[in-house]
Structures are given as C-alpha cells and as structure tokens.
C-alpha cells in the first residue's frame, strides 16, 4: 500500500495524487492534513506516516513537503526506513535499484506535478537489484 503524506506545501499535489491513485486503482492511505493550514508542521504528518510504512513490509511512502528535505530527515530517523529525496528521475531510479528505498520524498516547490508523476512512476517501476546492495543495506 502507498502511504501518502504531506504538509501545507504539498497539500495541492497530494490532492491531485489521490485522484491519480483512484483513477489507476492504486491502494493508498492518506495521512496528511484534512484542510490546508499554512501554519502546520511537517513532522506532525511525517512521523505517523513513517510508522505506517513500517507496519507492513509491502508499504511504500510518498511524502511531499516544500523541499522534500524535511520529510526526508524525519522519515530517515526511523530504523527500517530508507527514504530518498528525489526531485529528479535518476535519484528515484537509483534509490530503488541500489538502496531499495521504501519512502520517496519530494519538494512541491521544486518540481511540477507532471514531473512528480514521472518520478513516482520511476520509483514504482524500478526493481531492487539485490546482491551486493542487499549486503550493504543489512549493515544499517
């Protein structure tokens, strides 16, 4: 399942992502704000969403904040999370291929919605290579 979370900066993109997921019959759980509040704080949404990603090994997170960086920092505090801030396709690809990332964070202020969809599709469609990369992951 996709665990989708955002703060105020990612609110509009997440609303559009939910429609996209619904249209494509993709299972997700939204854990962001119910209404836009420019004074909200990203950790209030990212911390519970990170715990939800960890609740099932098949869960993946899509977290959107202003830069993608704050959400990434929060997510990576939890053991078992391998979050990547990928505001481009290459970062999303390599994060999955080499590092088996389970959380993708992105910055709504840095990319267009169309670019975000391309990054998400790359993230979902890239398979983990395993091998020496798995050995490395097991070290942390």
The residues annotated with a catalytic role in the active site are 65
CB 119 within 8 A of CB 92: yes
Q: How far is CA 17 from the centre of its chain?
A: 12
CA angle 71, 75, 76 (to 5 degrees): 120
Nearest alpha carbon to residue 91 among 118, 71, 51: 118
| Tokens encoding 18 | 């939910």
């Amino acid at each position: 399942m996709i665990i989708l979370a955002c703060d105020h900066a990612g609110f509009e993109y997440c609303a559009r992502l939910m429609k996209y997921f619904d249209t494509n019959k993709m299972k997700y759980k939204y854990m962001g704000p119910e209404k836009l509040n420019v004074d909200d704080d990203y950790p209030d949404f990212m911390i519970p969403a990170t715990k939800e990603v960890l609740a099932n090994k098949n869960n993946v997170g899509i977290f959107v904040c202003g830069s993608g960086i704050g959400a990434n920092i929060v997510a990576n505090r939890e053991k078992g999370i391998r979050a990547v801030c990928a505001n481009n396709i290459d970062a999303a690809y390599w994060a999955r291929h080499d590092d088996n990332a389970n959380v993708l964070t992105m910055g709504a202020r840095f990319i267009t919605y169309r670019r975000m969809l391309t990054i998400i599709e790359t993230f979902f469609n890239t398979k983990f290579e395993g091998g020496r990369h798995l050995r490395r992951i097991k070290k942390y």
